[in-house]
Amino acid sequence: MLDSLFDDVKRMNKRQFIYQVLSFGMIVSSALMIWKGLMVVTGSESPIVVVLSGSMEPAFHRGDLLFLTNYPEEPVRVGEIVVFKVEGRDIPIVHRVLKLHEKNNGTVKFLTKGDNNSVDDRGLYAQGQLWLTKKDVVGRARGFLPYVGMVTIYMNEYPKFKFAVLACLAVYVLVHRE
Amino acid sequence: MGESNETVKINKWDGAAAKNAIDDAIREVLTGDLKCNESFALIDGRLFLCALAVGVALYALLWDYLYPFPQSRLVLIVCVSSYFILMSILTLYTTFKEKGIFVVAKEKVGNNTRIWEASSYVKKHDDKYNLVIVMRDSTGKSREASFNKSFANYIDTNGAVVQTIVTNEITKLYNSLSSEKKEK
């Protein structure tokens, strides 16, 4: 069985094998370049995020897919939903802007809160941090697709499953010709 | 990988696998029995385009890693646009230049260099293997011959390509194309 799986590969000549590897590389690069292209277009370092918690219910639920933009010329306003990073946390947070102070020179500092949380986010910020500034912002929510992100959540909760799926895909692409 | 003469077993109902196996057999006939030299320029061109595209993507990845996003914006714009331009060039190259040609072979006959190009295609859910062989000589004249037969003609019940039948077919085509030349 395993032998026949690699039959295709064994029969390839040098150029066919290189092409096989390159076409696998191109599948990965296409996805990568689409992502980077979205980054450039939206101005956000992560243009699509998945909502991981229920802290923004009923606006967003766990598993919703959010589309973000982060144009520097657009001001942050109270009531907007922002995605921000906090030092020492890997995963960005999606919450609403509660209070905002803006100076004449354009610098802003603001406080956020999850719609479904009873307190504001100061407890979530880094030690001693009271406000967020523009540099903490990953993007602002512009649209969403409900539940599509559940797949991502399952993948992250069962990393073995994720690696298995990825490995299968990689082997399939590398082993099958064209 | 590499040349091997052991019999190849394939699932003949898998159109792509059957096509690849017969393509390989035909290449072997042209470059082996008929003693033509395979020319790799066409496939090397495609490999070069692919490698360039992957290289551009890797460069963008590396640059974005070294200089996180807002700084890398310009480089990303250049890389992303050139990547998609390269992809379109690659598509044009495979559809208009390669056109399913899987082997190009050169053959010296006296002062003449003859170029043989074999291309094949199989329609989806069809068992007909379509082969077109084009011969060009150095005067610029070209002639072509084609056949269109079911996979079943070349692959036995065990799923092995019957090399003798392929050799016969190709030699016949080869001879008819070569001799036509003399008549004119």
Q: Does residue A12 sit within a domain?
A: yes
Q: Does residue A97 sit within a domain?
A: yes
Find out whether A166 and A84 touch, Cβ atoms under 8 Å.
no
- The predicted structure's pLDDT at residue B184: 45
Same domain? A108 vs A62: yes
The overall average pLDDT reported for chain A is 87
Same domain? A108 vs A81: yes
Q: Please give the structure tokens belonging to residue B7.
A: 């019999």
Domain that holds residue A25: 1-41
Same domain? A19 vs A84: no
- The predicted structure's pLDDT at residue B102: 86
Closest by Cβ to A177, choosing from B16, B68, B77: B16
The overall average pLDDT reported for chain B is 84
Query: Which residues, 6 or more positions from B131, have their beta carbon under 8 angstroms from its beta carbon?
Result: B26, B118, B119, B120, B146, B147, B148
Query: Which residues in chain A are contacts of B83 at CB distance < 8 A?
Result: 29-30, 33
A7 touches chain B (CB under 8 A): yes
Same domain? A141 vs A53: yes
- The predicted structure's pLDDT at residue B61: 93
- The predicted structure's pLDDT at residue B2: 42
Q: Does residue A129 sit within a domain?
A: yes
Same domain? A60 vs A134: yes
Same domain? A135 vs A55: yes
- The predicted structure's pLDDT at residue B15: 78
Q: Please give the structure tokens belonging to residue B144.
A: 């072509």
Higher pLDDT, B49 or B20: B49
- The predicted structure's pLDDT at residue B121: 87
Same domain? A141 vs A109: yes
Residue A121 falls in the annotated catalytic set:
yes
Is the Cβ pair B73, A40 closer than 8 Å? Answer: yes
Residue A64 falls in the annotated catalytic set:
no
Same domain? A140 vs A158: no
Give yes or no for residue B93 having a pLDDT over 90.
Answer: yes
Higher pLDDT, B36 or A139: A139
Backbone dihedral region of B100: left (phi > 0), alpha (psi from -120 to 50 degrees) or beta? left
Q: Which of B8, B30, B43, B50 to mutate to test the interface with A (most CBs of A within 10 A)?
A: B50
Give yes or no for residue A2 having a pLDDT over 60.
Answer: no
Give yes or no for residue A110 having a pLDDT over 90.
Answer: yes
Instruction: Give pLDDT tens digits for A59-89.
Output: 899 889 999 999 988 888 899 999 999 988 8
Q: Rounded to a whole number, what is the distance in Å from the CA of B116 to chain A's nearest CA?
A: 19
CATH code for the domain of A103: 2.10.109.10
Q: Of B122, B121, B119, give the one whose Cα is nearest residue B133.
A: B119
Q: Does residue A168 sit within a domain?
A: yes
Q: Of B184, B180, B120, B182, give the one whose Cα is nearest residue B146.
A: B120
Instruction: Give pLDDT tens digits for B66-81.
Output: 998 888 889 999 999 9
- Coil vs helix vs strand at A92: coil
Same domain? A51 vs A139: yes
**What number is the ipTM of this complex?**
0.80
Higher pLDDT, A178 or A94: A94
Residue A95 falls in the annotated catalytic set:
yes
Find out whether A84 and A132 touch, Cβ atoms under 8 Å.
yes
Instruction: Give pLDDT tens digits for B139-184.
Output: 777 888 888 888 888 888 887 888 888 888 888 888 888 876 554 4
- The predicted structure's pLDDT at residue A84: 93
Same domain? A51 vs A132: yes
Same domain? A54 vs A135: yes
Q: Does residue A178 sit within a domain?
A: no
- The predicted structure's pLDDT at residue A7: 64
How confident is the model over A129-135, as a mean pLDDT?
Answer: 90
pTM of the predicted model as reported, rounded to 2 decimal places: 0.81
How confident is the model over A162-169, as a mean pLDDT?
Answer: 88
Instruction: Give pLDDT tens digits for A11-24.
Output: 677 888 898 889 88
* Alpha helical stretches, state H, chain A: 2-5, 7-11, 14-42, 150-157, 159-175
Count structural domains, chain A: 3
Same domain? A34 vs A52: no
